[in-house]
A = this chain, B = another copy of it.
């Protein structure tokens, strides 16, 4: 067998990225070699550094290379609200809105069949946050999948027991969505959640 060339190894290694198949990897490898070796070297350094140094925020569990993430360190955020999400990427999505409260990242959802219980999604740490006097409301923004709903239900019971307010983000027809392309369960939720105008 002929040994793999360095270019073949690069194409192979690029496929570690989600959504990058063999053809895309070949195109990326050739383009970087031809047009942007400096950019690729920079990416290589940042990637090694990120994989080595990025851990989880001690308070909200999102990704950070420090003890606390930049959101938890920001003293201007509203301490009265905490938004619970499944993944660090959900924090980015919510940051694009005008929400300015705190976050808590579960890094997953309850899944008893896979042996993922409350402690595995950080609910022991979350309990400590619930004791904070300033906290008034917990917003549950887990996915609207079966596991996400079950996780939201479990956490809502915890929050109620602590005497704080707990809310769930609204489910309904997406903005710009046409009714005929929205599934019936979503429409049922949209009807249930109707508001006076």
A interface residues (Cβ-Cβ under 8 A, vs B):
2, 5-7, 9-10, 13-14, 16-19, 24, 26-34, 36-37, 39-54, 63-65, 69-70, 87-89, 92
Contact = CB atoms under 8 A, between A and B. Distances in A.
Q: How many copies of the shown chain assemble into the complex?
A: 2
B30 A14 contact: no
Nearest to A31: B18
Contacts of A16: 32, 36, 39-40, 42-43
B51 A48 contact: no
B65 A30 contact: no
A37 B36 CA distance: 24
Given A44-B44, A89-B26, A33 B7 contact: no
Given A14-B43, A17-B32, A33-B54, 9 more contacts: A2-B70, A5-B64, A6-B54, A18-B28, A19-B28, A30-B63, A30-B89, A34-B87, A44-B45
A19 B13 CA distance: 17
Contacts of A47: 10, 13, 32, 40-41, 43-44, 47
